[in-house]
């Protein structure tokens, strides 16, 4: 049950991190306002006071709702009659646990960027906090918000592919192929173990690939064998990983994530093969899903067609032929969170049919990174998750 007297109108949103020059904070703000479900009213947008105030002013936040410190923000917003109902956490990974803790214990819903945390120990602590809290916790694995990802999930679930045999997923980029850390704040924290955590590419993009494979197939992992590299001299965290996966029931998988693959920009791709058919989806062409029955021609499904599932079409915003992409997928997750938050204004639990990545998905992602590191240290030995 909501602690707020006023339960009408847009959801009052706060943000921690995401100040001037931060890409992911801007993406969250676009997603939050795309459907008019949220209004940003407060923020601790930077750990640097001058930048925090300048960022708040640029976004039109009131001076007394622009904070230098997230703890101060959580305490004061919890006391206000019109205080925030939810907070978006868009900080480096090492801050996810302390920030989320302050808001969860005050009953404020949390929308957190992935990965859940930088270390498995912190992930377990945060999962326990979220379990005990009355507030909701949503993790922004953005790619789960694409209509054709949902279509792939639906087709696997209803048995179109038959028994799943093989899963191949990759997420490859080239933006860290050299050492831009000195000149690029986004690169600097992602390659710093103190801020990023145990994983480099595995934590930053490998967790996206891992979640996509789990989300579409529903397969439960049994063990993995990982070979991690830091190709750039002096880099302390992995920038490339090859991972073999054994799933319960006998299916096998491979996951490749890299941030040193020259010529690849945001190459997230998944292929799933069963004993009846296979499918393929690519993030850089997200409005299409390729499906091939064994012995048959390849069928290219496009977003919004009558041949797609109700669940997929429900995530489609504009008519076929008008491209939808990253911001719309992000907004689909924010929309699901909004429906759950609105439901909580007057009731407990979740409304029927609401699905978004949770703290459980986040814990699984950090467990994957931890297993990769353990395996690679043992010369790519098989380890359980």
31 lies in the same domain as 153:
no
**What digits encode the pLDDT tens for the residues 1-48?**
344 444 568 999 999 999 988 889 999 999 999 999 999 999 999 999
pLDDT of 3 reads 41
125 lies in the same domain as 179:
no
Half-sphere exposure of 267 (CA within 13 A, CB side): 16
234 lies in the same domain as 214:
yes
pTM of the model: 0.95
Quote the distance between the C-alpha of residue 94 and its chain's center. Answer: 16
pLDDT of 7 reads 55
**What digits encode the pLDDT tens for the residues 161-189?**
999 999 999 999 999 999 987 788 899 99
Q: Which structural domain range is residue 74 located in?
A: 11-143+331-356
Quick one: which of 272, 365, 337, 294 has its CA closest to 35?
337
pLDDT of 346 reads 83
Quote the distance between the C-alpha of residue 164 and its chain's center. Answer: 25
pLDDT of 18 reads 95
69 lies in the same domain as 212:
no
Q: Contact 373/228 with Cβ under 8 angstroms?
A: yes
189 lies in the same domain as 298:
yes
Quick one: which of 53, 34, 130 has its CA closest to 89?
130
Q: Find the CATH number of the domain harbouring 38.
A: 3.40.50.720
Spell out, as residue ranges, where the chain has pLDDT lower than 70.
1-8
pLDDT of 316 reads 94
170 lies in the same domain as 123:
no
Q: Find the CATH number of the domain harbouring 151.
A: 3.30.360.10
């Amino acid at each position: 049950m909501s602690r707020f007297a006023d339960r009408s109108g847009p959801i009052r949103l706060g943000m921690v991190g995401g100040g001037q020059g931060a890409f992911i904070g801007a993406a969250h703000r676009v997603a939050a306002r795309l459907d008019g479900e949220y209004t940003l009213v407060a923020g601790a947008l930077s750990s640097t006071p001058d930048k925090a105030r300048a960022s708040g002013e640029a976004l039109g936040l009131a001076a007394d709702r622009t904070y230098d410190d997230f703890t101060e923000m959580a305490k004061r917003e919890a006391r206000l009659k019109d205080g925030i109902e939810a907070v978006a956490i868009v900080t480096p990974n090492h801050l996810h646990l302390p920030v989320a803790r302050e808001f969860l214990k005050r009953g404020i819903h949390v929308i957190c960027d992935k990965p859940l945390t930088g270390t498995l120990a912190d992930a377990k602590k945060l999962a326990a906090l979220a379990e005990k809290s009355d507030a909701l916790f949503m993790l922004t694995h953005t790619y789960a918000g694409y209509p054709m990802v949902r279509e792939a999930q639906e087709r696997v679930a209803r048995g179109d592919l038959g028994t799943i045999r093989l899963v191949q997923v990759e997420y490859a980029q080239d933006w860290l192929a050299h050492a831009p850390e000195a000149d690029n704040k986004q690169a600097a924290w992602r390659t710093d173990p103190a801020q990023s955590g145990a994983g480099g590419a595995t934590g930053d993009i490998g967790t996206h690939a891992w979640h996509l494979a789990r989300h579409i197939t529903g397969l439960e992992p049994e063990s993995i064998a990982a070979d991690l590299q830091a190709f750039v001299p002096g880099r302390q965290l992995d920038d490339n990983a090859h991972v073999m996966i054994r799933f319960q029931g006998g299916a096998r998988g491979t996951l490749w994530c890299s941030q040193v693959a020259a010529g690849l920009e945001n190459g997230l791709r998944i292929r799933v093969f069963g004993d009846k058919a296979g499918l393929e989806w690519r993030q850089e062409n997200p409005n299409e899903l390729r499906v091939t029955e064994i012995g048959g021609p390849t069928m290219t499904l496009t977003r919004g067609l009558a041949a797609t599932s109700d669940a997929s079409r429900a995530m489609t915003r504009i008519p076929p032929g008008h491209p939808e992409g990253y911001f719309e997928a992000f907004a689909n997750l924010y929309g699901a969170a909004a429906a759950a938050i609105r439901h909580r204004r007057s009731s407990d639990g979740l409304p029927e049919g609401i699905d978004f990545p949770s703290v459980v998905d986040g814990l699984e992602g950090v467990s994957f990174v931890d297993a990769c590191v353990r395996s690679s240290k043992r010369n790519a030995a098989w380890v359980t998750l």
